[in-house]
Structure 1
Amino acid sequence: MTEKQQRADHDSPWKEILEAYFPQAMQFFFPQTAALIDWERPHQFLDKEFQQISREAEQGRRYADKLVKVWLLQGEEIWLLIHIEIQAKPEDNFAERIFTYSLRIFDKFGKPAVSLAILCDADSTWRPNQYSYDYPDCGLNFRFGTVKLLDYQHRWSELEASDNPFATVVMAHLKTQQTKKKPGERKTWKFSLIRRLYEQGWQEKDIRNLYRFIDWVMILPKALEAEFWQEFKQFEQERSMSYITTGERIGYERGKQEGQLKQAQALVLRQLQKRVGDFPPEVREQIQTLSLEQLEALGEALLDFRSNADLLNWLEAN
């Protein structure tokens, strides 16, 4: 099983950590925008509003996108549209998608959204930051803020010195990319990053939150995962701490979620077999990378399928 199949809902850890530490995320990635915001007033995630504008938008890949209402220091309400591009490869129409979302928000709610993007891919040359066109009598130049996580590999000492939780998030992300075919090295880094949480004196809740992110993205083979746990239990015992032993509970919850995912996959595959007949192995593999939410949506959509073409069209759009 590939890493992609093991963590089909790869946007989940990003969404969780972004919601848990949104002010810190803004201060870490977009300090100039963060400096305009009154953090004494509560921010609000507008999931319902975002669903209204994204449901009809064409989405061929997975993202961790968030629409957030904040208040400026001058007292004005503004909306932030945060895009996290998680996929390993660049997307040609990424800038157009951001512009489309912003346009839909303005059209539906009359609110100009401040669009910001966090790029997690490994292509140093891909740096979208605008969508534009220019004709003799009409033109458009839509700019949005962009942060490239790959750039932080040259700022490692800054990450180590930072007490912002997103320094740990970026470190985990980079080391996951760099150890893709080096499981032993990944295990070492996973241990080191989680141990660092204790050494920095994080509160138990923060250690748990950041542990969840590190554990979810830094996937290990089962044998190495077992070794990791034995070594980490010993580390905790030596320091008379037991924060991450709650990780066993988290691991159980993750296992339960993955069990639900496999059940949903099996059900949808059986339904599709009855509905459209046989389909290529690569299509089956693509279905096995869908999140639980996507599988539920496919389970509803397939009732209207008449052929393999309907299935392929749905997968391309979702």
Structure 2
Amino acid sequence: MAYDNVCKYLVEWFPESFARWLLGSPVPLIQLQPTELSSEPIRADSLILLRAQNLILHLEFQTDPDPDIPLRMADYCLRLFRRYPDQEVRQIVIYLRKTQSERVYQTSFQRGSLSHRFEVLRLWEQDPEVLSRYPGLLPLAVLAEPDNPEPRLRQVARAIAEMEDPKLRQELKAATAVLAGLTWTPEEISRVLGGLAVRESTIYQMWRAEALKEGREEGLKQGLEQGLQQGLQQGLQQGLQQGLQQEAARLTLSQLRRKLGSLPEDLSETIRLLPTEQLEALAEALLDFQTLADLIQWLRESSSN
């Protein structure tokens, strides 16, 4: 969900770019709150509603195929019709990562006599030149050519570097770096984009918070299961802590392997045994690593502190 939310932030900050791309003209778009639809539970974290004159644009960004998408789109359409009966509703699901799954071609929900249709865009089939015309779409353009990525990433980097507003450059560079991570390793991204001095950007902070939240929730789930099986309060506490630590170690090792390649088993074991606080610090520090020696040096300095 963290990657999907980066796209949500881009829509919120650059609605005109998305209006030009999806509607063909720079019509004013006003954001609607999902809570306006119903008091019943709704996936507000992924729902994007934009309102123009006589039109409501509903966007859903998906990193990977989701079997619940057709039902969800039908459900949201009915809620929108109930709340705005005189408005046309246009629903578009935008898939970010290339896949062979047939689910990304599903454009309808059918159950008995109920039939509902929606639109689907697969980013890897979009024209990157069109996406590159609008500032808010530049980070998406890097996903439009997954089979020949480096030239496009370099082009996007140049376009961002030419922008006069330093805040705009920082946010778009951060969004580009995050979304490029769906396809490329941190090392490849760093080689093309240069030094990723984006940690203070709003987009990076939001993405980082979401990624850590997802990791913690998974660790919490594992810890709860282990604690319940032990049946004791002490076991629950230990299970929670162990689950958080194990999930943090798994995520950190995965990032390290993408950054540096395969790791010696002794180093991997050392990292698995690090406490959660050190693992979170390592996850931040590894963005600046270039070689295995950088990791070894970091571990030495961390153990001596």
Q: TM-score, normalised by structure 2?
A: 0.57
Matched, 1:119 2:94: yes
Whole-angstrom CA distance in 1 between matches of 2:208 and 2:47: 25
Deviation track 1:241-277 (CA, whole Å, cap 9, x = no partner) reads xxx74x1434984796355655554444322311256
Deviation track 1:86-113 (CA, whole Å, cap 9, x = no partner) reads 31x4x45533321122113334675756
| SS of alignment partner, residue 271 of structure 1 | helix
Counterpart residue number, 1:13? 6
**Any stretches of 5+ residues in structure 1 without a counterpart?**
1-7, 180-184, 234-243, 279-283, 290-318
| SS of alignment partner, residue 51 of structure 2 | strand
Matched, 1:275 2:238: no
Q: Cα offset for 1:82?
A: 1.8
Percent of paired sites with the same residue: 11
Counterpart residue number, 1:228? 191
Aligned 1:1-318 pairs, distance under 5 A: 9-31=2-24, 37=27, 39=28, 43-49=30-36, 52-55=39-42, 64-70=46-52, 72=53, 78-87=55-64, 89=65, 91-92=66-67, 94-107=69-82, 114-120=89-95, 121-123=98-100, 126-132=104-110, 139=113, 141-152=115-126, 155-160=127-132, 162-166=133-137, 168-175=138-145, 177-178=146-147, 190-199=153-162, 201=163, 203-219=165-181, 221=185, 228=191, 232-233=194-195, 245=197, 247-250=198-201, 253=205, 257=209, 258=211, 262-276=215-229
| SS of alignment partner, residue 174 of structure 1 | coil
Letter in 1 for 2:62: E
Distance 1:271 1:174, change over 3 A: same
- What RMSD in Å do the two structures reach over aligned CA positions? 4.2
Distance 1:129 1:256, change over 3 A: closer
Instruction: Say if 1:50 and 1:66, in contact at 8 Å, map to a contact too.
Output: no
| SS of alignment partner, residue 79 of structure 1 | strand
Instruction: Say if 2:108 and 2:115, in contact at 8 Å, map to a contact too.
Output: yes
Whole-angstrom CA distance in 2 between matches of 1:202 and 1:52: 44
Instruction: Say if 2:74 and 2:116, in contact at 8 Å, map to a contact too.
Output: yes
Q: TM-score, normalised by structure 1?
A: 0.55
Instruction: Say if 2:125 and 2:144, in contact at 8 Å, map to a contact too.
Output: no
Q: Cα offset for 1:24?
A: 1.8
Whole-angstrom CA distance in 1 between matches of 2:108 and 2:57: 16
Letter in 2 for 1:272: E
| SS of alignment partner, residue 275 of structure 1 | helix
Distance 1:50 1:218, change over 3 A: farther
**How many residues are aligned here?**
229
Deviation track 1:258-316 (CA, whole Å, cap 9, x = no partner) reads 556555544443223112569xxxxx89x969xxxxxxxxxxxxxxxxxxxxxxxxxxx
Distance 1:30 1:252, change over 3 A: closer
Distance 1:24 1:192, change over 3 A: closer
Whole-angstrom CA distance in 2 between matches of 1:259 and 1:81: 27
Whole-angstrom CA distance in 1 between matches of 2:115 and 2:161: 46
**Any stretches of 5+ residues in structure 2 without a counterpart?**
232-242, 249-305
| SS of alignment partner, residue 249 of structure 1 | coil
Letter in 1 for 2:19: M
